[in-house]
Amino acid sequence: MNIVVCVKQVPESRDVEMDPETGNLKREGAAAVMNPFDLFALEAGLQLKERYGGTVTAITMGPPQAEEVIREAYMMGADDGMILCDREFAGADTLATSFTLAQGIRHLQAVDLIICGLQTTDGDTAQVGPGIAEFLDIPHETSIQKIHGMDEDGLRVEKDMGHVVMDLSLQLPTLISVAKGVNQPRLLSFRRKLQTRDWPARYLERSDLDDHKEAFFGLDGSPTQVEAMFPPQPHTASERWEGSSQELADRLVQLLVEEKFVQSGVDE
């Protein structure tokens, strides 16, 4: 089974503050790490490879320093790594990112399974995995909480749908995005760190890709544009309520309704 795992380098801390006067983001020496959700995706790929043979290739789109997450994937057990790196990829939204990664995966050929983390901690959209699957015209499922393995219908998995769980099989080739807790990611191996120190990571730029029309990549290929960024309105209320218990209860019920904390009577 030839498996591709999509990974991304993200800022370690989610704590980004914005200067309310200048609107500038304050980012104090934020270290970059592998997106935590991707550790589960890598572990899922490695476990399937151990059961069914084949290879695990880690792929990422990013600047040259994103090679660090490919090296981390090697240390966990990946066989190969690819970095899609080109200035023309800059400013990509989820559409352009999905397209670029799909092109990179197509370049690898004979891929049976693509695994993504559910979402990234910096973008939080969970959109890139399904986008890749559409570009490759293969089925996908998101929020996978359990991987049973192969059965006669394909890869058998459980999908978390909120209040219900779906037990299903996907024909290969396919793409899944895995939820936190689908497995226990292994630790990085120091021995593998030494073994893989000289392993190169393959770099691909736009001109290496099959479909490399400029308009599909980076900012040009991104329909969405960030118009502005501003600090959120913090929940600043600090009220002290006093009165009879009935008055307090009524005010609280009203608050819960106004703030939409009350279930509307239908299961999620």
Partner 1 sequence: MALKVITDRCTGCGRCITVCPFDAVYLENDVAVITPGCRVCRLCIKECPEDALYLEESSQPEADMAGHSGVLVVAEAVESKLHPVTLELMGKGRELADELQQKLYVVVIGHGLKSAAEELLQYGADEVWLYEDASLKHFRIEPHTNAAAHAVSGLTPNIVLIGATPVGRSLAPRLAVRLRTGLTADCTTLKVKENGDLVQIRPAFGGDVMAQIVTPQHRPQMATVRHKVMDPAQRFRREGAVLRQQELTDSALASRIRVHSVHRRREKPSISDAEIVVAVGRGVKEQKDLKLADDLARLLGGQVGVTRPLVEMGWGDHTQQIGLSGRSIRPKLLIALGISGAVQFTAGASGAECVVAINSDPDAPVFSSAHYGLVGDLYEIVPKVIAGLERGESIHAVL
Q: Is 211 in the site for partner 1 (CB under 8 A)?
A: no
64: tokens are 């040259």
Q: Report how far residue 77's alpha carbon sits from residue 79's, in angstroms, rounded to the nearest whole number.
A: 6
Based on the shown chain and the rule CB under 8 A, indicate whether residue 36 belongs to the binding site for partner 1. Answer: no
Q: Is 20 in the site for partner 1 (CB under 8 A)?
A: no
Query: 87-106: b or e for each residue (b if 16 or more CB lie within 10 Å)?
Result: ebbeebbbbbbbbbbbbbbe
Contact range with partner 1 by CB under 8 A, out of 35-43, 44-52, 92-100, 103-111: 92-100
Q: For residue 228, state whether it binds partner 1 (rule: CB under 8 A).
A: yes
With beta carbons less than 8 A apart as the criterion, state whether 38 and 185 touch.
Answer: no
How far is 143 from 162, CA to CA, in rounded Å?
Answer: 10
Nearest distance, CB of residue 205 and partner 1, angstroms: 9
Q: Which of 7, 39, 89, 178 binds partner 1 (CB under 8 A)?
A: 89
Answer for which of 75, 101, 140, 201 binds partner 1 (CB under 8 A) is 140
Of residues 50 and 220, the one with the C-beta less far from partner 1: 220
Contact pick of 43, 72, 80, 93 for partner 1 (by CB under 8 A)? 93
Shorter beta-carbon distance to partner 1: residue 54 or 63: 63
Position among 21, 124, 198, 210 found at the interface with partner 1 (CB under 8 A) = 124
- What is the chain's alpha carbon radius of gyration, rounded to the nearest angstrom? 22
Closest to 77 (Cα-Cα) out of 233, 195, 237: 195
With CB under 8 A as the contact rule, the residue among 56, 75, 116, 170 that binds partner 1 is 170
Helix (H) or strand (E) holding 42: helix 36-52
